[in-house]
Structure 1
Amino acid sequence: MTSNAADAAPQRPVVAVLGTGIMGSGMARSLLRAGLDVRAWNRTHSKAAPLAADGATVTETAEEAVRGADVVLTMLNDGPSVAAALAAAAGGLHAGQVLLQSSTVGPEATVDLAQRTADLGPVYLDAPVSGTKQPAEQGALTVFVSGPSAVRAKAEPVLDAIGQRTVWVGEVPGAASRLKLVVNTWVITMVNNIAECLNLAEGLGVDPQTFLDVMKGGPLDSAYLQGKSAAVLSGDLTPSFTLSTALKDTRLILDAARSSGVRLDLVAASADRFARAEAAGHGDEDMIATYYAGRAPEKDGD
């Protein structure tokens, strides 16, 4: 007796992506390139709609997106946004699913979201990512994951599609979110350091390009320094990671530091810079727009 080849083919995992902003849309496209079936939902439908042209099923509701999905991937702004999405999707969530929670929400919110998820049925994996727009679009993120190892096999096709590296850091949700805050501390202080170097160059009348040329190829150079500086000098602040989101993450870091008895002076100063730049209207630009928080004010008559 022969079997039909199509019947013998393994079923492709179905992944529901809740949240299709800069990061979520890039991750959804990486999942599609890997051959996974993707359902996409966003509270603002127009942000998810373009994914239909890439092969995703764009749904009107979160419940419709998650019903029957093997893995649910959340990529939203903060803890309350994820909680709201889970509430909207509750009717379609069930035991046997894996919730891959990739938003940066901080350790405290992670505990709350893990409990909400358990009450709804799926197994919760704390899975924040390191990377911005381009790595998300290329499937080249680094994913930090903590949660029950029993569901690793079910999550791995998704993790392999969105990331170039997966780092399993524990069995209990929260460990991955704590690591993510440490990584983001490095990024946040670095981007503000770049901005301040450019501010000082401008203030002292030094050509910023001369500074960059001096650094280029040396032990203190980096693609990040050159790339973020180029964005400022060209005036192209198209976001790969918005300044307002960076401010949100900075506040999560400071909250976690305070609760653990750690003082982070550079991160506190970074929060002040981000807040000033946001107040000046740069919140939706790339986070290197923190540069504008340090520009010398124009003198009367200039």
Structure 2
Amino acid sequence: MTRIAVLGTGKMGSSLVRRLAGAGFELTLWDRTAARATAVGVGRVAVTPADAVAEAEFVVSSLTGPDALRATFLGPGGALESAHGQLFLEMSTAGPAFEAELAPRVGSTGSHLVDATIVGAPPIVEHGEAAILAGGDAADVERARPILEHLGTVRHVGPPGNGARLKLIANSMLAQIVAGAAELQHAGEAAGLDPGDVFWILARFAPTLETRRPAFVDNELQPTMFALRDLRKDLDLALGVFHAEDAPAPMTAIARELVSQALGEFSDNDIGAMVRLYRPSPRDKASDRVSDEPRP
């Protein structure tokens, strides 16, 4: 039975774990909050990343960003302390610069690294319907494929780092879709249209919006699948990459500004809360809502 260590059991990590457990893999879990790993209810829970990695053949990491990854891989009791020829599948959204930083450290242990970023919300991962953007050597991607295909469709997108780059494109597109849809949902309602009809036509153009129906149509703050704070982090990473390549990205910059405006009240909420930028609530002031009127 293939042995896999999973580092990070947040919303995405726990979804990965449940899907892989259902496929029959032998799992060892680690999370900096041990109770969260225990709560998943499958596999053995390790005390440190090094403990989790020691007997694994593959190591999957799903963490919040570069800082968490550095602590997990390179800190005391870190994953690389016990690495010895494993294949590391880095599934976080940390950007290509971190992948370039990590790759030689992993290589020095005789191990290999694939950046295998995930496109799809946790429920999609649990149904095995995500898209996996794999950057790395072809032989390493093929070695990982029997595991990754349990999570969704695997696309080899080129050399190391390209999975991380393409994930930033994906999340920038998602931000633009949600920000644009939030504006148009409110504009349609203001014009007297039924909220359900407005959302129906928006979702015809952008089917990914369907998972945010409660926020857009019913004005509910739904359970968080992708927090606004994490989307802002990804947009910061994306704009850093785009600007470094002198690639103009005005739409991404506007989306980032709108996400930033929503962070004050809705940082921990799902990205569907973007629609609240345009809708009054009892404690709103008109000046707090988005407007296209010139500011004094």
Are 2:148 and 1:159 aligned?
yes
Matched, 1:294 2:278: yes
Q: 1:263 aligns with which of 248, 256, 259?
A: 248
Q: CA deviation at 1:216?
A: 7.6
User: Residues 291 and 153 (structure 1 numbering): CA distance in 2 closer, same or farther, change over 3 Å?
Assistant: same
User: TM-score scaled to structure 2, two decimals?
Assistant: 0.88
SS at match of 2:176: helix
Q: Are the equivalent residues in 1 in contact too, given 2:188–2:195 (CA < 8 A)?
A: yes
d(CA) in 1 for partners of 2:236 and 2:33?
A: 25
Which residue of 33, 39, 42 corresponds with 2:22? 33
- Give the structure with higher Rg (CA): 1
User: Is residue 112 from structure 1 mapped to residue 101 from structure 2 by the alignment?
Assistant: yes
**Letter of the structure 2 residue corresponding to residue 168 of structure 1:** H
Which whole-Å CA distance do the structure 1 matches of 2:108 and 2:162 have between them? Answer: 21
Q: Residues 224 and 283 (structure 1 numbering): CA distance in 2 closer, same or farther, change over 3 Å?
A: same
User: Which of these residues, 186, 206, 213, is aligned with residue 229 of structure 1?
Assistant: 213
Of stretches 103-112 and 201-210 in structure 1, the one that deviates more from structure 2 is 201-210
The answer as to 2:228 corresponding to 1:243 is: yes
Q: Deviations over 1:139-160 (max 9, x none)?
A: 2211111212233443122212
Q: Are the aligned partners of 2:89 and 2:115 in contact in 1 as well (CA < 8 Å)?
A: yes
* Counterpart secondary structure, 1:17: strand
Question: Deviation of residue 132 (structure 1)?
Answer: 0.9
Residues of 2 paired with 1:76 and 1:299: CA distance?
38
Question: Aligned-pair distance for 1:230?
Answer: 3.0
Partner SS state of residue 25, structure 1: helix
User: TM-score scaled to structure 1, two decimals?
Assistant: 0.86
Q: Within 1, Cα distance between the matches of 2:252 and 2:25?
A: 39
Following TM superposition, where does structure 1 have runs of at least 4 consecutive aligned residues deviating by more than 6 angstroms? Answer: none
Contact 1:18 1:41 in 2 (8 A): yes
Shift of 1:207: 3.2
Over the aligned positions, Cα root-mean-square deviation in angstroms equals: 2.0
Matching of residue 184 in structure 1 with residue 171 in structure 2: yes
Task: Give the partner amino acid of 1:89.
Answer: A
Contact 1:274–1:293 under 8 Å retained in 2: no
Deviation at 1:254, TM superposition (A): 0.9
- The match for 1:3 is none
Task: State the match for 1:9 in structure 2.
Answer: none
Match of 1:133 in 2: 122
Structure 1: stretches of 5+ with no match in the other structure: 1-11
- In structure 1, distance between residues paired with 2:43 and 2:114: 23
Q: Paired residues, what number?
A: 280
Asked if structure 1 preserves the Cα contact closer than 8 Å seen for 2:214 and 2:222, the reply is no
In structure 2, what residue type is equivalent to 1:269? I
